[in-house]
Amino acid sequence: MLLNTEVVMPIMRPSVPVRRRFFPMLLLLALLASAALPFCRAQAPATPAPQQTQQPDQATPDSGGPGADTGVIALPKKKEKDEDVPPPAPAAPKIKNPEGMSNFSLRVEVPEVTVDVGVLVEKTHQFLPGLKPGNFRVYENGVAQKVTGFKRVEAPVTALLLCEFASRGNYYSTYNFIYDMRNAAFAFAQQLRPQDYVAMMTYDMRTQIVSDFTQDKRQLYEAINSLRVPGFAEQNLFDALYEAEDRLTRIEGRKYIILIASGRDTFSKITLDKIMQKVKATPDVTIFAVSTGGAMRAMTEGRGGLGGQMRDIDYLQADNEMKTFASVTGGMWFAPRFAGEMPDIFSTINQNIRSKYQLVYHPTDAKQDGTYRKLRVELVDEEGQPLRIQDEKKKPLKYDIIARDGYRAKQEVE
């Protein structure tokens, strides 16, 4: 038999004296906790509170006044002043070609002629400066032309020295002609300037390039000095001049041929008519001719019977050919007899080459038919009368107008 024994524990309640004993201790703990609280806050970093952006009050007050103005104010952008813009061009009309026809272009060339004119005082061979466009009149085939361009030019020289270097029947004749040729060539070389280009070519039966184009005067002097013993006795002037003209056409700009020769031609393949056609048809080439052997011709002229007379006729014909080559191209011809004349001759050539008036006009006959057209230049005063010039003593002075005899018009196929 089991016995259920239940033990009842009585609840113990503290007495009043116990509460009074613990209350001061609790109060002391509370004071210590309150004193330690600021120290704990200083040791732990404070987490900043999230900053709230204050939004402006966009609501309009009931009274209709302005709202809050704490927000960003956006000012309207000023409109730029409208510039005066031209209206767009109307669209080009579209033109359709007929079926089977392609586009084509039309090219019109207006011919233009340039004439270099030298004006020299006849007595002193000095260039006459100070002329104006109204002082010039240009005639083409007898028809007056309107000058549209005018200027005075003085430019470097591009020249070919073409010298006859051939032997003759005897030593005396050979020496005289070569002596004149060398003196003339040296006198020309002394007139050169550093910017000039000069080449030298000699001829007898055939041509030979002694010196190519150079600006070195010493090289030209050496080339002239090397001409001492000639070769063949033939003097093929026409062939040599034709080749010289052909070579110079490959060079742009104005060119000059200084032809120093007796003027005789003995064995050329080219005839006089053909060389004259070549000289007239070659543009921008001016020939200055200097005849050699003048002193010997003066001493032997009229001697020797029929043979001497034939020789004199040959030299007169040679002079005429040299003069024609020069005048047709706007150059000059000289026939000196003494070596002392050479410096003055080449001084005149130098002035004529460097100082010129350049005239430009559009011909009234615009046909490109390849015909040769004659040119004539005159000097007039303000009233249209022939120009008269005077020296310091009021004495009239004569002058020479040096210009091309004419030019050949282009062909349509060129």
Which residue has tokens 């038919």?
A: 369
**What residues form DSSP beta bridges with 287?**
257
Residue whose entry in the numeric block shows the structure tokens 């209206």 = 87
Percent of the chain with pLDDT over 70: 76
**378 neighbors 137 (Cβ within 8 angstroms):** yes
Is the pLDDT at 2 greater than 50? The verdict is: no
The pLDDT score that the predictor gives to residue 412 is: 73
> Is the pLDDT confidence value at 10 over 50?
no
Q: Range with the lowest mean pLDDT among 98-107, 124-133, 208-217, 388-397?
A: 98-107
Q: What is the pLDDT of residue 404?
A: 87
- The better pLDDT of the pair 3, 356 is held by 356
DSSP letter string, 359-402: EEE--S----B--EEEEEEEEB-TTSSBP-EE-TTS-EE-EEEE
Instruction: Report pLDDT for 123.
Output: 78
Considering only residues 165 and 18, tell me which one the structure prediction assigns the higher pLDDT: 165
pLDDT (mean) for 135-149: 95
Cα gap 167→208, rounded to integer Å:
15
Q: Please report the pLDDT score of residue 6 as a whole number.
A: 45
C-alpha distance from residue 237 to each of 105, 175, 300, 330 (Å): 47, 19, 23, 20
Token pair for residue 39? Answer: 């120290």
52 compared with 85, residue with greater pLDDT: 85
Average pLDDT over residues 12-16: 48
pLDDT on residue 76: 59
pLDDT at 1 exceeding the cut of 50: no
User: What is the predicted pLDDT for the residue at 18?
Assistant: 47
Q: Is the pLDDT of residue 71 over 70?
A: no
**Phi-psi region at 349: left, alpha or beta (left = phi > 0; alpha = psi -120 to 50):** alpha
Is the CB of residue 315 less than 8 Å from the CB of residue 302?
A: no
Residue predicted with more confidence, 329 or 78 = 329
The residue with greater pLDDT, 407 or 414, is 407
Which of 143, 144, 155, 151 has its CA nearest to residue 114? Answer: 151
What pLDDT, on a 0 to 100 scale, did the predictor assign at position 16? 47
Q: Which residues contact 269 (CB under 8 A, 6 or more apart)?
A: 236, 238, 239
Q: What residue ranges define each of the domains in the chain, with the CATH number in brackets?
A: 109-154+355-414 (2.60.40), 156-354 (3.40.50.410)
Q: What is the pLDDT of residues 148-162, one digit of tens each?
A: 999 988 878 999 999
Residue 201, pLDDT above cutoff 80: yes
Predicted local confidence at residue 7, as pLDDT? 43
CA angle, corner 237, sides to 376 and 277, nearest 5? 40
Residues 6+ apart with CB under 8 A from 40: none
Kindly state the helix (H) or strand (E) to which residue 296 belongs, with its residue range.
helix 294-300
What is the rounded CA–CA span in Å between residue 333 and residue 346? 11
More confident residue, 75 or 130: 130
- The answer, yes or no, to whether residue 177 has pLDDT greater than 80, is yes
Edge-to-edge strand order for the sheet containing 372-379?
Answer: 143-145, 136-140, 372-379, 406-408
pLDDT at 320: 96
Percentage of the chain modeled with pLDDT above 90: 46
DSSP-assigned beta bridge partners for residue 41: none
pTM of the model: 0.64
CA 364 – CA 204 distance, rounded (Å): 44
330: left (phi over 0), alpha (psi -120 to 50) or beta: left
Mean pLDDT check: name the lowest of 41-55, 108-122, 240-254: 41-55
Mean pLDDT (whole number) for 190-209: 94
Find out whether 128 and 120 touch, Cβ atoms under 8 Å.
Answer: yes
Cα end-to-end distance, the chain, whole Å: 156
User: How distant, in Å, are the alpha carbons of 16, 118, 249, 283, 406 from that of 246?
Assistant: 151, 25, 5, 11, 19
Q: How far is CA 83 from the centre of its chain?
A: 42
Q: Answer for the pair 202, 272: CB distance below 8 angstroms, yes or no.
A: no
Please name which of 91, 193, 113, 30 lies closest in space to residue 362, comparing C-alpha atoms.
113
Rounded to 5°, angle at Cα 77 from 72 and 83 = 175
Question: In what helix (H) or strand (E) does residue 258 lie, and over which residues does it extend?
Answer: strand 255-261
What three-state secondary structure class fits 265? coil
pLDDT for the residue numbered 78: 57
Residues 315-370: tens digit of each pLDDT: 999 999 999 999 998 899 999 999 899 999 999 898 888 888 999 999 999 888 88
Q: Which two tokens stand for residue 251?
A: 């060079």
**222 φ/ψ angles, rounded to the nearest 5 degrees:** -65, -40
Least confident interval from 54-68, 69-83, 121-135: 54-68
Q: What is the mean pLDDT of the chain?
A: 82
The pLDDT score that the predictor gives to residue 88 is 79
